[in-house]
């Protein structure tokens, strides 16, 4: 079973990927936050940070999966062509982003609202020989989980490399109940390489997932990995993170981000990252908010 580090814009960049691999042994695949494709669809036309993120130099000795946000088949194919030129073997299509600014333009999970268009889009994409394999990351519906069987019928008709399923609808965003039975349904339908995503926070959660239904080809973890960078190691039977390892993790991330963006942005990112392990702890939150140095942040979190 492959372990994927979920894409999280503003956090899971090359600095985090390298530090994570060096300190905690890494994961099978690091997913890149989406590239918002422009009119031309080329990698050259992407934002500077997106171009850097996909640059093979940035990802040496790491397996990464770039992701595109578009509803235009020509843009997607141009982007995939550029990925092939950069040496990639697979690109991912984002059908999961729930942000209203994205969905109101019919992109991300906005495409799930219009199954007919989704089918014609995929027909247009798969009509031609693809320069790299295509995978997809989707939600199980826009408004309601009842949309899932219809969407599954569409997704099952195309030879995706793998299909990552966040077991919530767009309306459900990232919190509240999940629908793991939607994942079982995808496995039963014979969806290629189904990857489970949603609320896996501990090695126990993964164990419970594996014991409750059909085995996933992979699992994708986002917030759980930010809260506990040793999570993949623990899932594989290794030890939990020591205090020293966590200190080294936050210090190396801060140094990496400081070199790249300066100390103010670096500290802001560290504080954002620390929101997850500190979730719900008001005192910690207050200490973190006031902290002006990395050491204060680390003490607020770990002492
Ligand atoms: C700040 C933030 C940024 C995200 N950016 C992306 C993205 O660029 N592409 C994507 O497919 N999902 C994105 N996601 C969704 C995550 O990849 C993941 O699906 C979500 O956090 C649920 O998984 P989890 O419960 O393991 O955290 C983002 C989520 C958050 C909270």
Which atom from ligand 1 is nearest to the alpha carbon of 137? 11
Query: 128 burial class (0-12, 13-18, 19+ CB within 10 angstroms)?
Result: exposed
Q: Which residue has a Cα nearest atom 10 of ligand 1?
A: 7
pLDDT in tens, 153-211: 999 999 999 999 999 999 999 999 999 999 999 999 999 999 999 999 999 999 999 99
Under the banding of pLDDT at 50, 70 and 90, the label for residue 283 is confident
Phi, psi of 212 (to 5 degrees): -90, -25
Distance 136 CA to ligand 1 centre (A): 14
What tokens does 195 get?
A: 């990857």
Q: Which residue has a Cα nearest atom 22 of ligand 1?
A: 198
What are the structural domain ranges in the chain? 2-235, 243-302
Distance 40 CA to ligand 1 centre (A): 26
- Average pLDDT of the chain to the nearest whole number: 96
What tokens does 188 get?
A: 């039963």
Lowest mean pLDDT among 189-198, 243-252, 272-281: 272-281
Distance 97 CA to ligand 1 centre (A): 8
pLDDT in tens, 12-49: 999 999 999 999 999 999 999 999 999 999 999 999 99
Global pTM reads: 0.97
pLDDT in tens, 40-63: 999 999 999 999 999 999 999 999
What tokens does 141 get?
A: 């519906």
How many Cβ atoms sit within 10 Å of the Cβ of residue 73? 18
Torsion angle of the four alpha carbons 196, 65, 156, 114, in this order, in degrees rounded to the nearest 10: 100
Q: How many CA atoms lie within 13 A of 128 on its CB side?
A: 13
Phi, psi of 4 (to 5 degrees): -105, 135
At residue 179's C-alpha, the angle toward residues 175 and 181, to 5°, is: 165
Whether 275 has a pLDDT exceeding 90, the answer reads no
Residues marked active site are found at 97
User: How far is CA 179 from each of CA 41, 61, 182, 285, rounded to the nearest angstrom?
Assistant: 34, 35, 6, 31
Whether 273 has a pLDDT exceeding 80, the answer reads yes
Give the H/E segment covering residue 25.
none
- Which pLDDT score is estimated for 278? 65
Percent of the chain with pLDDT over 90: 91
* Top mutation candidate among 3, 7, 196, 199 for ligand 1, by most atoms within 8 Å of CB: 7
User: In sequence order, which ranges of the chain are alpha helices (DSSP H)?
Assistant: 14-24, 48-54, 73-85, 100-103, 115-126, 148-155, 180-188, 203-212, 223-227, 231-235, 243-261, 263-274, 282-290, 294-302
- Which pLDDT score is estimated for 214? 83
pLDDT in tens, 116-148: 999 999 999 999 999 999 999 999 999 999 999
CATH code that applies to domain 2-235: 3.20.20.70
- Which pLDDT score is estimated for 284? 85
Whether 218 has a pLDDT exceeding 70, the answer reads yes
> Pocket residues for ligand 1 (CB within 6 Å)?
6-9, 33-34, 67, 94, 96, 137, 166, 174, 197-200, 221-224
User: How far is CA 21 from each of CA 27, 162, 187, 215, 248, rounded to the nearest angstrom?
Assistant: 7, 23, 30, 25, 13
């Amino acid at each position: 079973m492959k372990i994927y580090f979920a894409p999280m814009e503003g956090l899971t960049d090359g600095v985090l990927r390298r530090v994570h691999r060096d300190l905690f042994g890494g994961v099978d695949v690091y997913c890149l936050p989406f590239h918002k494709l422009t009119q031309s669809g080329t990698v050259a036309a992407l934002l500077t940070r997106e171009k850097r993120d996909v640059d093979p130099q940035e990802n040496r000795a790491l397996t990464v999966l770039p992701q595109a946000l578009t509803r235009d088949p020509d843009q997607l194919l141009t982007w995939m062509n550029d990925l092939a030129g950069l040496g990639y073997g697979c690109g991912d299509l984002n059908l999961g982003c729930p942000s209203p600014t994205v969905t109101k333009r019919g992109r991300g999970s906005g495409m799930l609202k219009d199954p007919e268009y989704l089918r014609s889009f995929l027909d247009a994409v798969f009509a031609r020989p693809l320069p790299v394999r295509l995978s997809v990351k989707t939600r199980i519906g826009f408004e309601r989980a009842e949309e899932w069987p219809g969407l599954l019928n569409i997704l099952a008709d195309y030879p995706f490399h793998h299909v990552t399923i966040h077991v919530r609808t767009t309306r459900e965003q990232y919190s509240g109940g999940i629908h793991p039975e939607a994942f079982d349904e995808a496995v039963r339908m014979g969806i290629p390489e189904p990857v489970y995503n949603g609320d896996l926070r501990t090695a126990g959660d993964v164990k419970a997932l594996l014991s409750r239904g059909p085995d996933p080809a992979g699992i994708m973890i986002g917030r759980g990995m930010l809260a506990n960078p040793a999570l993949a190691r623990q899932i594989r039977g290794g030890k939990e993170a020591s205090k020293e390892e966590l200190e080294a993790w936050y210090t190396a991330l801060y140094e990496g981000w400081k070199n790249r963006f300066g100390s103010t942005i670096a500290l802001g990112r560290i504080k954002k990252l620390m929101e997850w392990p500190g979730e719900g702890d008001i005192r910690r939150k207050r200490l973190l908010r006031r902290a002006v140095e990395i050491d204060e942040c680390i003490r607020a979190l770990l002492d």
